[in-house]
Structure 1
Amino acid sequence: MSPPTFIDAPPRAVPAPVALSYELFPPRSEAACRTLWVTIRELEATDPDYVSVTYGASGSNHDTALDLVDRLQLDTTLRPLAHLTCVGGTAEELTGVVNELLDRGVRGILALRGDAPRNGSRPSGSLRYAQDLVELIRGAEARRSAQFAAGKVAIGVAAYPTKHPESPSEGHDVEVLLAKQRSGADFAITQVFFHAEQYGLLVHRARRAGVTIPIVPGVMPFTSLRRVEKLSALSGVAPDPVLVDRLRAAAGDEAAVRRVGTRAAVRLARAALEAGAPGLHLYTFNEHAAALDILARLDLPRPSRPLLAARHRAAV
């Protein structure tokens, strides 16, 4: 019997690099802009795969978001993932925004429903669900596919480790994620979660339902009790009472609060990675110190990019 060829031999498993990304939001003042760009330079040195740029409800910060996307592409090595919300926008309006993003060189979009209007009303013809926005983006892409050569637009969506406040059940949330996948989503980023087991349970539910796209855990550095409580109120996700008690006990000691919050975030990130998470998305709140603390404690396997490393050294 002839020996097996290289093609016949079973491939050796090679661990995949863990994806790394950050969330940024457009600055609201000149002082905030200066602080943000310090953060951007610090985070750029970690060579993330992309940075997401938030987009206000109904495009309330449209211009500043696009300005930040432009600067990231022109002045840094970072790849922007542009947020886009659909509630309150018509198909025509949103197609215009998508085309504007594509014109500016954006090739990654995080398609989100966005917060429903407080008065409950929506303009006639406005999109209702993120699934609709995914389909709209894919339609815009198809009409311009010749521009993208061998590439495509990467579309991300949100996933929920705990039940969405407007959802009847966690199972319904998974069905919604599956619908977004069927409409053309490439990956998902989770909303903030507070308990280590929640990410793994979400992935288990999703895989059983037929979701195959990567589900990246979104982790928040819990270095501000006020921020934790505010985010909890906005998202409807109850924070870990033990974490809240520890942050409250450390109040007044900035270093102690940072230690408590960073350790909690590292525990969540490690649990998610041990559950097979393909990446890590850090909600930075435009601050770099806590994000860098978390990374220093995780030692993520990252791809080697010699050209980018040389550019970083040259810039120092």
Structure 2
Amino acid sequence: MSKNEHPLGISFEFFPPNTDAGREKLMQTRDALAECKPHFFSVTYGAGGSTQARTVDTVKQVSECGITTAPHLSCIGSDKGELRALLAMYRERGIDSLVALRGDLPSGMASIGELRYANELVEFIRAETGDHFEIAVAAYPESHPQAPSFDRDLENFVRKMRAGANLAITQYFFNADAYFHFVERARALGIEAPIVPGIMPITNYTKLARFSDACGADIPRWIRKQLEAYGDDRESIEAFGEEVVTRLCQRLLDGGAPGLHFYTLNQAPPSLRIVDNLA
């Protein structure tokens, strides 16, 4: 760890904005979060190239602040030639970190592509670029929503790590025991690399419920009921969310989590408040 890096090993995720106003806001968010001296920023990527150009542009803009910036790279809907060109471009631009994902097939797209799974993408990156990139992959403490079982999902995770990944970043969750159980099972299978918990600040219950239902992240009933009770009282939702997520983060760190990866939704204040609470 660099002496200038935040001692908690924090990192932050952004998505590529599609308007000038969104890009201006993201640069403000980037600058505010850069003050925390994060380990890295990441930038999401739409499957099948739906936001590929915006991802490339956003990575360039975000990385100008001097913080390591890791583009998401998805294999579904892309052929090896396209992926090879992207890897070459990122190397030329001095990018040395990636988040390698399977991705989802957009509706209306007929071709899955030459690579079907994230472990195949990791193997391809290693074959093309050796050890140039630090590669992160996804982990699902509560199991991927499309996985037939927890054990099968864990097997898929192990394949990704053994293919050459350096670390894993989890889907967000609100049950610390799910994370600790997943890590324990992974360690028992010989995976020693860092497994960084993904953290979603709570600021809007409607959006959180929609995201969670789509990605399979469980919102415990006691949290749902309290958020529902606040209705449109945004101030109370944010205060309660800050308290809940701060306690979650503290328990994770106390239990040995190697860092925290915040899904910012391109907003700085919610994540900053939690980081400040932990400092």
Alignment TM-score, normalising by the size of structure 2: 0.93
The CA deviation at 1:164 is 1.1
Does 1:73 pair with 2:53? Answer: no
Does 1:133 pair with 2:121? Answer: yes
Does 1:245 pair with 2:233? Answer: no
Task: Quote the residue 2:24 is aligned against.
Answer: 34
The CA deviation at 1:99 is 1.4
The CA deviation at 1:96 is 1.5
Q: 4+ runs of 1 displaced by more than 6 Å?
A: none
The CA deviation at 1:58 is 1.3
8 Å CA contact retained: 2:102, 2:117: yes
**Aligned to 2:81, which of 83, 86, 92?**
92
Task: Quote the residue 1:55 is aligned against.
Answer: 45
The CA deviation at 1:199 is 0.9
The CA deviation at 1:120 is 8.1
Q: In structure 2, the residue corresponding to 1:31 is in which secondary structure?
A: helix
Q: Structure 2 counterpart of 1:263, which letter?
A: E
8 Å CA contact retained: 2:202, 2:245: yes
Task: Quote the residue 2:3 is aligned against.
Answer: none
8 Å CA contact retained: 1:175, 1:209: no
* Identical pairs, percent: 38
Alpha-carbon spacing, 1:93–1:232, altered in 2? closer, same or farther (3 Å) = same
8 Å CA contact retained: 2:71, 2:99: yes
Task: Quote the residue 1:104 is aligned against.
Answer: 93
8 Å CA contact retained: 2:203, 2:238: yes
Q: Deviation per CA, 1:173-224, whole angstroms, max 9, x where unpaired?
A: 2211211111100000000112121111110111111111100000000111
Q: In structure 2, the residue corresponding to 1:222 is in which secondary structure?
A: coil
Q: CA RMSD in A?
A: 1.7
How many residue pairs get aligned? The number is 274
The CA deviation at 1:121 is 4.1
8 Å CA contact retained: 1:99, 1:140: no
Does 1:25 pair with 2:7? Answer: no
Q: Give structure 2 stretches of 5+ with no counterpart.
A: 1-5
8 Å CA contact retained: 1:163, 1:173: yes
Q: Structure 1 counterpart of 2:142, which letter?
A: T
8 Å CA contact retained: 1:165, 1:235: yes
- C-alpha separation between the residues in 2 aligned to 1:25 and 1:268? 24
Does 1:284 pair with 2:264? Answer: yes
8 Å CA contact retained: 1:186, 1:214: yes
8 Å CA contact retained: 1:160, 1:190: yes
Does 1:82 pair with 2:62? Answer: no
Q: Structure 1 counterpart of 2:56, which letter?
A: L
The CA deviation at 1:17 is 4.0
- C-alpha separation between the residues in 1 aligned to 2:106 and 2:16? 22
Task: Quote the residue 1:158 is aligned against.
Answer: 138
Q: In structure 1, the residue corresponding to 2:172 is in which secondary structure?
A: coil
Q: Give structure 1 stretches of 5+ with no counterpart.
A: 1-15, 146-151, 300-316
Task: Quote the residue 1:13 is aligned against.
Answer: none
Larger Rg: 1
- C-alpha separation between the residues in 2 aligned to 1:107 and 1:174? 27
Q: In structure 2, the residue corresponding to 1:22 is in which secondary structure?
A: strand
The CA deviation at 1:18 is 2.9
Q: Structure 1 counterpart of 2:22, which letter?
A: A
The CA deviation at 1:157 is 0.1
- C-alpha separation between the residues in 2 aligned to 1:173 and 1:62? 27
8 Å CA contact retained: 1:197, 1:271: no
